[in-house]
Amino acid sequence: MTRDIIIDRVIKKIKSRSDVGFKKYGVTLKDDYQPLGKWLTHIQEELMDAVNYIEKVKDVLDYDESRN
């Protein structure tokens, strides 16, 4: 694949996620024609999820750090 094992892992995860999406929706990203506003909503929702996950990890780290 590449000279960087980290990049290889990311590529593998992207491919796996693509397979899951194709099985779920029956269409590739290339052939998924939705209005631009829909794509912006998808991006917004994914970013909101990411912020929630970051907040959770920070909460866990704060808890762990306060025990040390």
56 & 39 share domain: yes
What is the tens place of the pLDDT at every residue in 28-49? 999 999 999 999 999 999 999 9
Please, what's the b/e burial string for 36-52 (b: 16 or more CB within 10 A of its CB; e: otherwise)?
A: eeeeeeeeeeeeeeeee
User: Furthest-apart CA pair in the chain: how many Å?
Assistant: 52
Which residues lie closer than 8 Å to 11 by C-beta, 6 or more apart?
1, 2
21 & 49 share domain: no
User: What is the model's pLDDT at position 19?
Assistant: 98
* Residue 66 pLDDT > 90: no
Count of domains forming the chain: 2
25 & 39 share domain: no
What's the pTM value of the predicted model, to 2 decimals? 0.73
25 & 43 share domain: no
**Mean of per-residue pLDDT scores for the chain:** 95
* Residue 68 pLDDT > 70: no
Place of tokens 């939705």: 34
The domain containing residue 21 runs over which residues? 1-29
Do residues 8 and 1 make contact, with C-beta atoms less than 8 angstroms apart?
Answer: yes
User: What is the model's pLDDT at position 39?
Assistant: 98
59 & 41 share domain: yes
17 & 41 share domain: no
